[in-house]
Amino acid sequence: MHKDHLTGFIQQVLPMSPGRAEQVAERFRPATIGRNDYLLKPGTICNVSHFVASGILRSYAYDLNGNEVTTAFFTTNGYATDLLSFFKRTPAKEYIQAITDCRTWCISYEDMQASFHAVPEFREFGRLNIVQQYSLLKERMLSNLQEPAEKRYADLIQAHPEILQQVPLKYIASYLGIADTSLSRIRKEYSKK
């Protein structure tokens, strides 16, 4: 598995020379995650952060009624981690599970902290990546409050078309905060456009 995706992602987050991007990327190690395997479960501390080279993962939690709610999808060229647990060293409140077989580049908390101190570009990359992840979370939260499900569905499919092909519809409906039947109706309307 080549680090081209990873170095490209690093340069997208923080423009730098290919040599510097490779220096940042060398801190990451390859990992494989089998379909349905877990990266994280509630009550454990997230000790490893993953850049997704291929595959799809999701995070989910249970609501007060015991319903499983998908809170995020992590796709190719995305970052799969529980930032709060990883950086604050607190127990996670969500699951992170592979929906498909996945290949990732991962870094441990200890290696990331050492890299922050040893490589200035790594520190800046880390800061900008956290800002980017926070921005995605904030945009999703506001979208759930201010946009209809049809728009949220269209945005999801435009940004990540592979999700529709590889993710069970019940996870997509849960992520959008709608019933499976509503998702079926939205999909039919969307396909007519």
67-110 pLDDT, tens digit per residue, is 999 999 999 988 899 999 999 999 999 999 999 999 999 999 99
- Give percent above pLDDT 90 in the chain: 61
Question: pLDDT tens-digit profile of 165-177?
Answer: 999 999 999 999 9
Q: What are the beta bridge partners of residue 30? A: 105
Please report, for residues 20, 113, 142, 189, 192, the alpha-carbon distance to residue 58 in angstroms, rounded to integers and kept in the order given.
Answer: 31, 25, 20, 26, 28
Per-residue model confidence (pLDDT) at position 62: 96
Instruction: Measure CA of the first residue to CA of the last residue in the chain; give whole Å.
Output: 39
CATH number for region 4-146 = 2.60.120.10
pLDDT at 53 over 90: yes
Name the average pLDDT for the chain.
91
Mean pLDDT of 19-37: 91
Upper half-sphere CA count for residue 122 (Cβ side, 13 Å): 17
DSSP classification of residue 45: B
Q: What's the token pair of residue 148? A: 């209809």
Per-residue model confidence (pLDDT) at position 12: 85
Per-residue model confidence (pLDDT) at position 27: 87
pTM of the model: 0.88
pLDDT at 24 over 90: no
DSSP classification of residue 26: T
